[in-house]
Amino acid sequence: FEIKDKFPENFLWGGATAANQLEGAWNRDGKGPSIADVLPSGKDRFVIASGQDFVWQAEAEKYKYPNHRGIEHYDRFKEDIKLFAEMGFKCYRFSIAWSRIFPNGDEAIPNEKGLEFYDKLIDECLKYDIQPVITISHYEMPLKLAKDYGGWKNRKLIGFYENFARVVLKKYQKKVRYWMTFNEINSAFHFPVMSQGLVPSNGAKDFTNIFQAWHNQFVASALAVKIGHELNEDLQIGCMILYATSYAYDANPVNQMANLKQMQDFNFFCADVQVRGKYPAYTARMLKEYNVDISKLQITKEDIAELAKYTVDYIGFSYYMSMVTEVTRDDQNVVSGNLLGGVANPFLKSSDWGWQIDPMGLRIALNELYDRYQKPLFVVENGLGAKDVVETNGAIHDDYRIDYLSQHIVAMKAAIADGVDLMGYTPWGCIDLVSASTGEMSKRYGFVYVDLDDKGNGTLARSRKDSFYWYQKIIKSNGKVK
């Protein structure tokens, strides 16, 4: 019964990004358009991304698409990886743009030019002993799969994803040990467009489609685990969920029960299937409450067997904020969030974008997840989206970010002492990139500043913020927060 009072020696300190939010080069070297490429900047983005309206905007001239240019990482990745190495990154989480490898998603043969980019990117990381951590699909499915196949509710997508996963797992299995199958798979509750390619014309409003899409993704994820483990038993293939610790507003049992359901439906449902290998007991209750037409769901015996057999090796999750469940009153203050909003917690402060900052919530999340699954955990996203000011001498004093991250590191350390098996930490947007929910550049998360504004003006020059030097020390000292 020895208390672990420090981070493990092999702890994976690093940072996280996603292809569509930083690469740019959206139509170069054979890349096809992805779902992220048709999300405009401005207020329409949120409306579209959350599936309330969609007119295949890539065809509409009036919009600006920030993901098309990203931060031009496609051309500057060497400079960026060098900066990560300077901070001492042990790992770097990024995603492979599906539409770079299979431009339309339904081809049989991969686009070699697309693979060449990831060959170079991976080798660049390895040059500095940075372990790549790859998300196979991060909100960037080929557009054609949404447009012509109706998104993930179509079973054919399982086969298309399987081809994609096989190509990248096979090609990189000797160089990349850590993988995740789908980014924030549970986010379909709020963002069915980005995570499932479900738009209103594909039936995004009907939970029957969302559940069918989830089922297909679960099977696809299981097949990726199967392929990966058959190729190389050393590979670690995880799921990835969006976790928002949720509190009942008060001791009213009605709120407590509602919160328990919120935890099951939002935080646990997908991970329960991917980690435990079967649908949890409360699935029937959930299907009923979301008016799912069970007679329409296509779930085969073979699917069930595959889910049971090919469960994930670890749980990756994002953690930014916590939530409050209150169902007995309608006069509460509300807060926003990119995917989640709800009742304000009077004990917490919010970021400029209304996300409630709650480091203790991370310690709680780690305990809840570890109690439930007893599998290694990996915090693969965490961070503060904030507006940074560049001083006349070029310095960026982002003490608010240092403060946010410090508190979350302290919380992780406490969770390790609580007995949690934690593998690593990759704060989100280690270099400033395009915001997923708003398309803004001004919502910055990085240790590295990128000179680019919301209108697309700027030199794209990279510079080091104060948090860059702070994180360098954190990594060097293996997590010592002063």
Spatial neighbors of 4 by CB under 8 A, at least 6 apart, are 416, 417, 419
User: Segment contacting ligand BG6 (CB under 6 A): 158-166, 249-257, 401-409, 435-443?
Assistant: 435-443
* Pairwise CA distance, residues 385 & 297, whole Å: 39
Query: What residues are annotated to the active site?
Result: 381
Among 181, 318, 351, 382, binds ligand BG6 (CB under 6 A): 318
User: Using the rule CB under 6 A, is 454 a contact of ligand BG6?
Assistant: no
Binder among 40, 66, 151, 385 for ligand BG6 (CB under 6 A) = 385
322 counts as binding ligand BG6 under rule CB under 6 A: no
**Nearer Cβ to ligand BG6, position 70 or 385?**
385
Is residue 73 a contact residue for ligand BG6 (CB under 6 A)? no
428 interacts with ligand BG6 by CB under 6 A? yes
The amino acid at 139? Y
Find the binder of ligand BG6 among 67, 131, 311, 338 (CB under 6 A): 338
Give the angle 275-277-283 at the CA atoms, nearest 5°. 100
Residues 267 to 306 in contact with ligand BG6, rule: CB under 6 A: none
H/E stretch holding 257 reads helix 253-262
CB 344 within 8 A of CB 398: no
Residues 6+ apart with CB under 8 A from 200: 51, 52, 53, 54
Q: CA–CA separation, 419 vs 130, rounded Å?
A: 27
Rule CB under 6 A: say whether 443 interacts with ligand BG6.
Answer: yes
The one-character DSSP state at 393 is T
Q: Is 436 in the site for ligand BG6 (CB under 6 A)?
A: yes
Q: What are phi and psi of 476, to 5 degrees?
A: -60, -35
97 token code pair:
């743009």
- The three-state secondary structure class of 386 is strand
Measured CA to CA, the distance from residue 40 to residue 67 in angstroms comes to: 8
Binding residue (CB under 6 A) for ligand BG6 from 437, 452, 474, 479:
437
Q: At what angle do helices 399-417 and 359-373 cross, to 10 degrees?
A: 30
Q: How far apart, in whole angstroms, are the C-alpha atoms of residue 450 and residue 447?
A: 10
From 34-42, 231-239, 326-334, 432-440, span contacting ligand BG6 (CB under 6 A):
432-440
Q: Indicate which single residue of 23, 381, 388, 432 sits in contact with ligand BG6 (rule: CB under 6 A).
A: 381
List of residues 6+ apart from 214 with CB closer than 8 A: 152, 185, 188, 196, 270
- List the one residue from 41, 57, 183, 255 that touches ligand BG6 (CB under 6 A): 183
Residues 17-36 that bind ligand BG6 (CB under 6 A): 18, 21
Part of the chain binding ligand BG6 (CB under 6 A), chosen from 76-84, 209-217, 371-379, 428-436: 428-436
Nearer to ligand BG6, 21 or 467 (CB): 21
Between helix 73-87 and helix 466-476 the angle, nearest 10°, is 50
Residues numbered 219-258 forming contacts with ligand BG6, rule: CB under 6 A? 242
Interacting span for ligand BG6 (CB under 6 A) from 101-109, 115-123, 371-379, 434-442: 434-442
- Chain residue at closest Cβ approach to ligand BG6: 437
Q: What is the nearest approach in angstroms of ligand BG6 to the Cβ of residue 439?
A: 9
Kindly state the number of chain residues that form the binding site for ligand BG6, as judged by CB under 6 A. Answer: 16
Which C-beta is closer to ligand BG6: that of 255 or that of 435?
A: 435
Neighbouring C-alpha atoms within 13 Å toward the C-beta of 116: 8
Sites of contact with ligand BG6 (CB under 6 A): 18, 21, 139, 183-184, 242, 318, 338, 381, 385, 428, 435-438, 443
